[in-house]
Amino acid sequence: MIKAIDFGQLYREHLARSGRVFKSASEWDSKAVEMRTKVLDSSYRTEFVSRMQYTADDSVLDIGCGPGTIGLALAPKVKQVYGLDYSQGMLNAMLQNAAELQLDNVHPILASWDDDWNAVPVCDIAVVSRASIVADMADALDKLNRHARKKVYMTQLVGGRFISREIAELLGREDRSFPDHMYIMNMLYQRNIYPTLDYLESASRLAGSSSLEELMDKVRWSFGELTVDDAAKVTAWYQRDPEYAQQGGEPMRWAFMSWTPPAH
């Protein structure tokens, strides 16, 4: 019986196997300046927001909000936006962006997924964008369901990899993927919640090479130094279909999940 499987435990075991080292809040602080404007103009952002439903009366809780990627796109169209992040640098970046956009309905909340969230407001909509590789997914889903009245929107990597699956397999590199969206889909099903699933695609990290040498540099950046044998495999992969290789192979896919939380 699928309902008897402990997907929360399987998630934790997968995460432990992945060797994931969680970044500290100060490590995210140091990325905030670079990320502040970069994330505000992307097809990922447009695609995410275009899949959402909201009204002018809604409040939004954006968890792991970063510099306001999703929250600030919504702020002109909803009543209030609360950006929650454990990095003060990211919250400062969000507030600077909000000020530049003359938005006065954006509120920072300095908190972590791991805190108790007693002081976090319950909103109409909860958003988690690219910020859900958490230590305890069961606890995270319970928090989301308690803090959203109407809808939760969440993205999670498909396959759990930022690096190319095709090249990882080609080079026989150890699979250290993170737990992906299928754990979440199953955990929601076990809670009698029926999420809608869609996919957002963006270019692979290997995209944009105009020659084999450029591709090889990008592969080294993701996978480290290559042996002569590795280089021969990448060369053969490139030569089989240079156009496909120049696109970086398969796109990176984000699962876009949305669901109605149980009535409170």
Ligand X SMILES: C[S@@+](CC[C@H](N)C(=O)[O-])C[C@H]1O[C@@H](n2cnc3c(N)ncnc32)[C@H](O)[C@@H]1O
**52 vs 171, beta carbon nearer ligand X:** 52
Helices 25-38 and 88-100, interaxial angle, to 10°? 20
Residue with Cβ nearer ligand X (35 or 212): 35
Nearer to ligand X (CB atom), residue 89 or residue 237: 89
- Residue number with CB closer to ligand X (11 or 113): 113
Which residue's CB is nearer to ligand X, number 73 or number 185? 73
Between 86 and 178, whose beta carbon lies closer to ligand X?
A: 86
Q: Which position's Cβ is nearest ligand X?
A: 66
99 within 8 A of 119, measured Cβ to Cβ: no
Q: Minimum distance from CB of 3 to ligand X (Å)?
A: 29
Q: How far is the CB of 86 from ligand X (least distance, A)?
A: 4
Q: How far is the CB of 90 from ligand X (least distance, A)?
A: 4
Cα–Cα distance list, 26 to 22, 40, 82, 135 (Å): 11, 22, 21, 18
Query: Bridge-partner residues for 259, per DSSP?
Result: 152
| Backbone CA torsion sign across 144, 199, 41, 252 | positive
Kindly list the residues in this chain that would bind ligand X in the complex (CB under 6 A).
28, 39, 64-66, 69, 85-87, 90, 112-114, 129-131
Minimum Å gap between C-beta 66 and ligand X is 3
Find the shortest distance in angstroms from Cβ 97 to ligand X: 12
Q: How far apart are CA 75 and CA 260, in angstroms?
A: 21
Nearest distance in Å: CB 28, ligand X: 3
User: Measured in whole angstroms, how far is the alpha carbon of residue 51 from the centre of its chain?
Assistant: 15
Q: How far is the CB of 260 from ligand X (least distance, A)?
A: 22
- CA 207 to chain centroid, in Å, comes to 19
Q: In this complex, which beta carbon is closest to ligand X, that of residue 69 or of residue 97?
A: 69
The end-to-end CA distance of the chain, in Å, is: 28
